[in-house]
Amino acid sequence: GDSVTQMEGPVTLSEEAFLTINCTYTATGYPSLFWYVQYPGEGLQLLLKATKADDKGSNKGFEATYRKETTSFHLEKGSVQVSDSAVYFCALTSGSARQLTFGSGTQLTVLP
Amino acid sequence: DAGVIQSPRHEVTEMGQEVTLRCKPISGHNSLFWYRQTMMRGLELLIYFNNNVPIDDSGMPEDRFSAKMPNASFSTLKIQPSEPRDSAVYFCASSPGGGGKGDTQYFGPGTRLTVL
């Protein structure tokens, strides 16, 4: 079945540091890939997505590129802020299924 | 739009009691999803509806769980009888449903359920 593997957290960075959160996937066919973010006490919000190979999703300074050859969708940001502290989930949908398959989530804490 | 609305936000109940969680999807969306989030299992799909019809309920843990969507603007998830292991955050999400697997799902704020 489909699966998503994220790097283990928690991740703690200083403000303005570079962020990478690794995400790899296993899926049949050509999945769509997503990054969702969950702030404390809130639901999940879409951060960015990519629906085909080599697409780059971007939003709020975050980027991720759909790499079919390495089955990866790593999240990056060049300079994190304290307000980026949250849990980040990599996810996919594939085939005719519309439900999201999530990774385990990565807790990010950014210190001032 | 108001976004996906869930109620209650918090529910504390005793083992054996019936619990009903409610969800109002975004107007015009025709797919609705119920997810459960726990520390042990992460985020997992319970059931999803398309045009008010249940499409995949393979994630529903057991017969104690049931979900309905009587119309396009309302869905319920019921647990009867509840057990302590049902304690979790339950999220409802909706999507437009017309874009296939690339559709964005919009999540509600969740219901935190505690079963004592």
Tens digits of per-residue pLDDT, B4-59? 999 999 999 999 999 999 999 999 999 999 999 998 999 999 999 999 999 989 88
Taking the Cβ of residue A57 and every Cβ of chain B, the question of whether any pair is shorter than 8 Å is answered with: no
Continuous H helices in chain B: none
Taking the Cβ of residue B50 and every Cβ of chain A, the question of whether any pair is shorter than 8 Å is answered with: yes
pLDDT of residue B99: 55
- Tell me the two tokens of residue A95: 């085939």
pLDDT of residue B1: 63
Give me the residue from B43, B50, B101 closest to A93, CB to CB.
Answer: B101
- Tell me the two tokens of residue B89: 């955050």
> Nearest-CA distance from A90 to chain B in Å?
11
Mean pLDDT in residue range A27-44: 91
Side chain identity at A83, as an amino acid letter? S
| Ramachandran area for residue B31 (φ above 0: left; ψ -120 to 50: alpha; else beta) | beta
CA angle, residues A106, B32, A83, in degrees to nearest 5: 30
Dist CA B14 CA B65 (whole Å): 16
Strands A75-77 and B88-95: unpaired
Across the interface, whether the CB atoms of A98 and B103 are under 8 A apart is answered yes
**Residues of chain B positioned with their CB less than 8 A from the CB of A97:** 56, 101
pLDDT category at B94 given cuts 50, 70, 90 is very high
pLDDT higher at A98 or A43: A43
Mean pLDDT of chain A: 93
